[in-house]
Amino acid sequence: MLTNVGVTGDEQEALTDAILDWRDQDSLKRLHGAEADYYLGLPEPYEPKNGKFDAVEELLLVRGVSRDLFYGTGERASGPVGGLKVNRDQQPPIALRDIFSVFNKTGNINVRYAPPAVLRALMGGEEDDVQAVLDARASDPGSALTLVQAKVGDQAVSRRLVDRHAKTMAIDARANMQGADIQARIGAVVDLAEDGEGFVVVRWFDRLPAV
């Protein structure tokens, strides 16, 4: 995933180790990672989490995660290691905030509902391939998994691809004031009950940014 958003070589190893060090519960630093000695030495010091992420935005606290990388701004390398820079007007960079989630309990990627940014990161950023999967989901949902698996070279990632009904859903409710350019949004993330009756609110958002 990091390769296909333009993070390669030493930068990729450093970022991967730093994320894993942020999550694990010990103070042992991986070869290219970062633990408390690094974070406490910053101009505005703080402790590493040493636990699971509660929000994707926590990535901004991890060493090596720049705002450009998190928000998908600026130019990044495209495609596999050694790929060339691309014109951002032709193909915008993939933002980390758009491809990671703190609500996935399985570590699998559900191809039936994966957003376009995740599909781009999985398949190397090819827009035509992403559109083919979106078209397949609309007409023949069962074929989408085969299309994605054919484009994913990493077997460890390919084994994480699934096609099933979602157990966790994001709800986005919007209201527009009639006759005025004013919009309000609220949202929630919910876990659906196994029997299909009811749901449990995992996280509630009183206010989402207007779009």
Domain borders along the chain are: 3-96, 104-162, 168-205
C-alpha torsion sign, points 69, 73, 79, 80: negative
| pLDDT tens-digit readout, 199-209 | 999 999 998 87
DSSP assignment, residue 32?
Answer: T
Name the band, by pLDDT with cuts 50, 70 and 90, for residue 107.
Answer: confident
CA-to-CA distance for 41 and 26, rounded, in angstroms? Answer: 18
98: Cα separation from own chain's centroid: 4
| Mean pLDDT lowest among 83-87, 89-93, 125-129, 197-201 | 83-87
Counting Cα atoms < 13 Å in the Cβ hemisphere of 17 gives 15
Name the band, by pLDDT with cuts 50, 70 and 90, for residue 45.
Answer: very high
Model's pTM, two decimal places?
A: 0.81
Options 1.20.58, 1.10.3470, 1.10.40, 3.40.50; which CATH number does 3-96 get?
1.10.40
Q: Are residues 142 and 163 in contact, defined by beta-carbon separation less than 8 angstroms? A: yes
| pLDDT tens-digit readout, 9-39 | 999 999 999 999 999 999 999 999 999 999 9
More confident residue, 103 or 89: 103
DSSP assignment string, 77-143: B-SSTTPPB--TTTSPPPPGGGT--S--SSS-EETTT--HHHHHHHTTS-HHHHHHHHHHHHH-THH
- Cα–Cα distances (Å) from 155 to 24, 30, 150, in that order, read 25, 25, 11
- Predicted pLDDT of residue 79: 45
- Predicted pLDDT of residue 124: 81
Name the band, by pLDDT with cuts 50, 70 and 90, for residue 91.
Answer: low
The 3-state DSSP class for residue 167 equals: coil
